Amino acid sequence: MIANWCSHFHIILLLSLAIFVQISSQIETKVEVLPGFEGPLPFELQTGYIGLGERDDDMQVFYYFVKSENDPQNDPLILWLTGGPGCSPISALLFQFGPIAFDVDDLDHYDETGTLPNLILRPHSWTKGKKEECSERLATAASIFLRSSSLR
């Protein structure tokens, strides 16, 4: 009888663990504050992992999701991939198109103290633009990329 109970216990334990792993792999995290930014973030930022392959645990890709600050229901979703192993997506978020950036006026302070510069809101973020503006920016970026001498 004890052996039968242990067998059932192991089956229930394995099923519970499988359900927990499946649920936890789909959980995203809402980020409300960032170090270097004063106060709560005034936009919606989520982070998480997306499972790729036939099984979610084959490969995981980390993502940042910033909801459109204009019309999230109708604005296009832009997927921006940062290339290469070891390239953090935060570089694109801070240096290229995201709603926040390093405070370049604070860089002298960085050199003196060894701390990271503060984060500030970027007034012309892609998350603030209208559909037409985003389309124009993407077309310009694609054109510059395709004309790049490194592709010839």
Q: Which residues contact 29 (CB under 8 A, 6 or more apart)?
A: 46, 47, 48
d(CA 77, CA 97): 13
Task: Give the chain's length.
Answer: 152
Domain boundaries, the chain: 2-151
Place of tokens 């989520």: 46
Model confidence at 2: pLDDT above 60: no
- 90-146 pLDDT tens trace: 777 888 778 898 888 766 666 566 677 789 998 878 787 666 666 677 778 777 877
Q: pLDDT > 90: what percent of the chain?
A: 9
